[in-house]
Amino acid sequence: MSVRTLQEFLASSKEKDVSGDAFELESPHMLEVRLDGLVWAKAGSMVARKGSVKFTRQGILEQGLGNLLKKMVSGEGMQLMKMEGQGRVYLADAGKKITLLRLGGESIFVNGNDVLAVESGVESRITMMRKVAGMLSGGLFNVRLSGSGIVAITSHYEPLTLPVNAQTGPVFTDPNATVAWSGGLTPEIITDISLGTLLGRGSGESVQLRFAGDGWVVVQPYEEVVFQVKD
């Protein structure tokens, strides 16, 4: 790696203003939010800010869930924070790759741990796969994002989108490697007892998601162990 002067480093790493959107990638791993009002972001994802910004850590109840579901969900990855005011906020999540998606009335489902930020024009609704809750510690939650606006999702390394249709047949994924899927798909929980016995009961491959219908599913080349298979 070549040695750069201090001036060269400062010039290459300074913030960029390329677009007029509220969300802009400063790098594949850093998101700048030009805040003028309200934006939801993953709790704990702020690395820097400028301007007059108020942060409010919100419980899941504000997202419209009941007490029972709130007790079922564990871990910090689910919690969002409300950012309000005027200024610039810089977000990141453990160096994961950030992808910006502009929704124009569509709906998508995103693994709850992979939602980084959501514009106020996008409605978010948290759901849980109840069958998985009995098999995985903490269950498996996802967020349905719909409406118009930009959302920022994260993945470990480059994500891969797999088409789901009648010609290709169903797609099976590891829950810990599944990032997002199209709003028209409803994953089915598949348990492979023989595979679980072969690989050990702690193996994530013994629990899979089956996607069938017409749409797509996004996976990452990494199994993020947010949920453990219960013994």
For residues 139 and 129, the answer to whether their CB atoms sit within 8 Å is yes
What's residue 75's pLDDT? 41
Count other Cβ atoms within 10 Å, centred on residue 194: 8
Tell whether the torsion through CA atoms of 87, 80, 92 and 27 is positive or negative. negative
- Per-residue model confidence as pLDDT tens digits over 102-125: 999 999 999 988 999 999 999 988
In the chain the domains, ranked by start, together with CATH numbers, are 19-219 (3.60.160.10)
Largest CA-CA distance found in the chain, in angstroms, rounded: 60
Three-state DSSP class for 206?
A: helix
Is the pLDDT at 61 greater than 70? The verdict is: no
Residue in the structure block whose two tokens are 């029972």: 68
Is the pLDDT at 39 greater than 90? The verdict is: yes
Burial class (CB in 10 A: 0-12, 13-18, 19+), 197: exposed
Q: Within its chain, how far is the Cα of 81 from the centroid?
A: 14
**Among 85, 77, 103, CA closest to 33:** 85
Residue with the bigger pLDDT between 19 and 221: it is 221
- Per-residue model confidence as pLDDT tens digits over 142-190: 899 999 999 999 999 999 999 999 998 999 999 889 999 999 998 998 8
